[in-house]
Amino acid sequence: MWLFIIVFVGMLVMETIRCSAAGEKVAAAQAVAIAPSVPVEENRLVPRVENRDGYWVLREEFRAGINPAEKIKLEKDPMKFFVEKEIEKLAKIPFAEIDSSKAGKDDLDTRLKWLGLFHRRKHQYGRFMMRFKLPNGVTNSEQTRFLANCITKYGKDGCADLTTRQNWQIRGLVLEDVPAVFEGLERVGLSSLQSGMDNVRNPVGNPLAGIDPDEIVDTRPFCKALSDYIISSGKGNTSITNLPRKWNVCVVGTHDLFEHPHINDLAYMPATKDGVFGFNVLVGGFFSPKRCAEAVVMDAWVSEKDVVPLCKAVLETFRDLGARGNRQKTRMMWLIDELGIEEFRSEVEKRMPGGAVLQRAGKDLIDPNWKRRTFYGVHPQKQPGLNYIGLHVPVGRLQAPEMLELARIADEYGNGEIRITVEQNLILPNVPTEKVSELMKEPLLQTYSPNPTPFLANLVACTGSQFCGMAIAETKARSLQLVKELDETMECSRPLRLHFTGCPNTCAQVQVADLGFMGTMARDANKKPVEGFDIYIGGRIGADSHLGDIIQSGVPATDLLPVVQNLMIEHFGAKRKA
């Protein structure tokens, strides 16, 4: 009876805490994470990894039933390629020779992802995509020029993408060029370290940080500090490179919640406690093929100086205690479920300097009634006389000549700075008012429009089957064609966010879209298997965040236009153009 009362009161307290979060919504559906499914035994809290010569290794007694990725890590720590410069030796060996053994294949296809190198075995054999750390999505003309020059030599095999985590990716790289590319990256202040597999992804912040007249806090220093910790300022941080799974972090700086806090493993929500500025904490948001979960409230508040220590404590909790069996059940939320949010918090607390973390501030600083803004076009900055210009990059794809032009424009009209948004678009900041009209005449703005057509404007598309070996469907070209047809035939009184993702990994986050399209196999009228999409509806971002659900499954790609037109009319009040 007492146990029942304690659990019930605990749930009421948690509910109150949750209701004080942004828009009261963030964790409403997360009852699952409040209490552990079974009581946590003491030996469950024994760390499963130990430090051996600087690398964190899974202890022998926890190796039963581990997944294949764990075995690959045990056979050889992937960070050795960077820390011990083994990449330089590997790059000198003929590719076919490396690829002739199981160990070599594991190096190429898996271990090199710790260095941000993704072998595109299925669609671009022998070539690599390279992904970076670009804290807060802030880049500049020098970096853009360098990346453009890297891919120029690969001709039609090279291109670049803006990603859904405010980041650059470049394509076409061959292994022998990698050591030189690493040297160049260091010169321009970029790093590709720890950007794939069981690592922390790019820390996301407000793309308007520091220039936004309405911002709550400039997120750039926090994202930079997090990134510096995560990759040890480019040297590699082996204390967090053997996580049970990938892990995402963001720092919120605006009422618009451009940073998507509800779908990050750790999100910092600005909040003042006893007159001191800091952050409330959300944990556990993630997407995966088998389960998608919104972040839940952890009863914690940190001051600005404790942003990095808290991230470290959460990561070490996940590293030490996270499950390493079925890979579909290894994201951090599974650990939170298993321990219960209270026990999880107490494990985090143990790993904080001083062994304590303060309780959350009653209310965070997000205005739940805020209307999300658009970036496109010209907007005054908080700095008088300066403007930022939002530019649309169709499905985030760029070629080298366009990148060089972009770099030139950033230098000529701004201060060389370029920002990337999680919608795969660009922002050019710091353009003096007197230069705006000249900038608007630049031919590049015909391609990267400051005023894109309505349905194109909010289109997001993942890499899809052009390069991604996991894809079931082509995304970028197909979605561009579809929105072109939608723009020609339909009109809607409000902007619609359309997201296309090539498989259930949902890198293009279909669950947050008004209409999301997830690649799947479908059957055409003759029952022949064809590429198709499951259609999601009703995803919301911002203070009333909500994950969308499937409304129609297995729609053949060729049938999409009429189906989408009808959904738009039925659910969003769209009309056919005369």
Q: Is 468 in the site for ligand SRM (CB under 6 A)?
A: yes
Q: x/- string (CB under 6 A) for ligand SF4, residues 349-368?
A: --------------------
Q: Which is nearer to ligand SF4, 92 or 122 (CB)?
A: 122
Contact pick of 467, 500, 517, 533 for ligand SRM (by CB under 6 A): 467
Question: Quick check: helix, strand or coil at residue 378?
Answer: strand
Q: Whole-angstrom Cα distance, residue 350 to residue 367?
A: 33
In the bound state with ligand SF4, the residue whose beta carbon lies nearer, of 403 and 462, is 462
State which of positions 199-218 bind ligand SRM (CB under 6 A): 201-202
What does the CA dihedral 517, 520, 526, 527 come to, rounded to 10 degrees? -140
Q: Which stretch binds ligand SF4 (CB under 6 A): 49-57, 263-271, 460-468, 532-540?
A: 460-468
In this structure, are strands 128-131 and 397-398 parallel, antiparallel, or unpaired? unpaired
Q: Does 466 bind ligand SF4 (CB under 6 A)?
A: no
Cβ proximity to ligand SF4: between 340 and 516 the closer is 516
The single residue among 283, 361, 468, 482 that binds ligand SF4, judged by CB under 6 A, is: 468
Among 163-171, 232-240, 368-376, 426-434, the segment contacting ligand SRM (CB under 6 A): 163-171
Q: Is 471 in the site for ligand SF4 (CB under 6 A)?
A: yes
The residue number whose beta carbon is nearest to ligand SRM equals 288
**Helix (H/G/I), strand (E/B), else coil: 531:** strand
DSSP, collapsed to helix, strand or coil, labels residue 254 as coil
Choice from 239, 415, 505, 565 touching ligand SF4 (CB under 6 A): 505
- Classify each residue of 422-443 as buried b or exposed e, where b means 16 or more C-beta atoms within 10 Å of its C-beta: bbbbbbbbbbeeeeeeebeeee
Stretch that binds ligand SF4, among 294-302, 438-446, 482-490, 504-512 (CB under 6 A): 504-512
Both tokens of 145, joined, read: 């020029």
> Could you tell me if 286 and 322 are in contact, meaning their C-beta atoms sit under 8 angstroms apart?
no
Among ligand SRM, ligand SF4, none, what binds residue 131 when CB lies within 5 to 8 Å by partner kind? ligand SRM
Among the listed residues 192, 188, 199, the one whose alpha carbon sits nearest the alpha carbon of residue 178: 192
45 close to 345: Cβ distance less than 8 angstroms: no
Is the CA virtual torsion 170, 173, 175, 177 positive or negative? Answer: negative
Residue 126 found at the interface with ligand SRM (CB under 6 A): no
Contact flag: residue 464 with ligand SF4 (CB under 6 A): yes
- Write the DSSP string, 174-206: -GGGHHHHHHHHHHTT-B-TT-SSSSB-PPB--
**179: number of Cβ within 10 Å:** 16
- Whichever of 249 and 567 has its CB closer to ligand SRM, that residue is 249
Residues in region 314-373 near ligand SRM by CB under 6 A: 331
By CB under 6 A, residue 279 contacts ligand SRM: no
Provide the b/e sequence for 123-136 (b: ≥16 CB within 10 Å): ebeebbbbbbbbbb
Lookup result for tokens 């001051």: 303
Q: Least distance from C-beta 196 to ligand SF4, angstroms?
A: 11
Q: Which partner, ligand SF4, ligand SRM, none, binds residue 501 by CB below 5 to 8 Å per kind?
A: ligand SF4
Site residues, ligand SF4 (CB under 6 A): 462-464, 468, 470-471, 501-503, 505-507
Site residues, ligand SRM (CB under 6 A): 118, 129, 131, 161, 163-165, 167, 169, 195-196, 201-202, 246, 248, 263, 286-289, 331, 462-463, 467-470, 505-507, 509
